[in-house]
Structure 1
């Protein structure tokens, strides 16, 4: 089972009304439970088989997916939006990811990025793509202004509500 498949299962369970989910395939067992305190923001994942080494060397992933690499005991995992930790960013508009998916800066690998730091944008201008379940969703700037910071890397997995860009609004 690939890490991307596990991430998709986590997303589907998180968006559903079920509280517990178990799946076993090819010697790998995945068990997820939602915490009753905040069901849309937490899940526990357990695996009992020796996972492929590729999962340990996977790029930085959302906190829910990291639970797959945890010890066989269940551990609750909280999903939180990225915090830039910079007080000067409070006056900047955050463009948030409307879904869980993969962030892409350009329409294809051969083309230029939609925007870079310093690019002037209008509210309806496409600034990136978030791919979710083979669908490419164009994300718009939402405000007129200038891109102050790009908070994620091309090809990085992003969570619902995670800040993607900081825009200095006009």
Structure 2
């Protein structure tokens, strides 16, 4: 990608090719001042990123594409992936995670980053509370809206 924040047509074409094999119906990516939305069905939303969702009970499940069996999760607010890409818990290899489970987070606390086309995009908590679980694995490909982590907003955990 070029040094400025505006992608070239080749950057966008490379993104489409990279996403073509993915397991998604829609995808949204922002690079600098350009927003790209892709859809297999033609139905696109205008929201730039999903809002945090509240898990109604302790039986939240992983996305349907995840074949692993998960234990019951604590109730809390889900931090969704704001875009597709590769999720990292640490700012660099060998560094400690941005935030550990059990730590207090604020709306602007970075809980991880998502790499898209060699650009690192922060994933922020969006709410205040205690980080109770990280659902995405480090270096895992994530999809738009996929649950990344859970925050308990009650102030106790």
When normalised by structure 1's length, the TM-score is 0.53
Q: Please show how residues 1-150 of structure 1 align to structure 2 within 5 Å.
A: 7-10=18-21, 14=26, 15-16=37-38, 34=40, 36=41, 86=72, 89=74, 91-150=75-134
Gaps (5+ residues) in structure 2? Answer: 1-14, 27-36, 45-62
Q: Secondary structure at the match of 1:8?
A: helix
Q: Secondary structure at the match of 1:146?
A: strand
The structure with more radius of gyration = 1
Gaps (5+ residues) in structure 1? Answer: 18-33, 41-78
How many aligned residue pairs are there? 109
When normalised by structure 2's length, the TM-score is 0.57
Deviates more, 1:5-14 or 1:155-164: 5-14
Alignment CA distance shift 1:123-1:81 (3 Å): farther
1:157 corresponds to 2:157: no
